[in-house]
Structure 1
Amino acid sequence: MFNSYDDLITIDDLCDMLAIGKNTAYHLLNTNQIHAFRIGRIWKIPREAVSEYVLRNSSLPK
């Protein structure tokens, strides 16, 4: 659950967290594989959405 604005990350943070490039990050966001929203041209990504994506796409215990 979203608790504070500190729980929102940027595209650059997402790239660092998942060790991916910006093109891949934008693809994940635009295809709703990672749930996020935009304010103007800036993506706001809940940190929890990244965790959910990792759990959904890995063999880690849920």
Structure 2
Amino acid sequence: MSSANLSLHFLTIAEVATAMRVSKMTVYRLVKAHAIAAVRVGRSFRVPEDAVSDYIRRSTEPAIADEDETTPD
């Protein structure tokens, strides 16, 4: 196993909630729905920092320009 795999940075549920500006319950629901990867440590969860970035990337839809705004008058 490479050392790159061992240098993961993990966040608590509360840290993820704060970063995403949602409640802890919302993060728990995302973990339960397998929308965000998490590791169970004892009775709590830890979320890899990359998993949060991946979730946001997957959930973000590209903005679609309004047709009126792109056509000059």
Q: TM class, shorter-chain normalised?
A: 0.7 to 0.9
Higher radius of gyration, 1 or 2: 2
Q: TM-score, normalised by structure 1?
A: 0.83
Q: Aligned residue for 1:45? A: 47
| Cα distance change of structure 1 residues 39 and 24 upon mapping to structure 2, 3 Å threshold | same
Q: Answer yes or no: is the 8 Å Cα contact 1:2–1:46 preserved in 2.
A: no
- Alignment length, in residue pairs? 59
Q: TM-score, normalised by structure 2?
A: 0.72
**Residue segments in structure 2 that go unaligned for 5+ positions in a row:** 63-73
Identity %: 31
Q: Aligned residue for 1:25? A: 27
CA RMSD in angstroms comes to: 1.7
Ranked by relative contact order (alpha carbons within 8 Å, sequence separation 6 or more), the top structure is 1
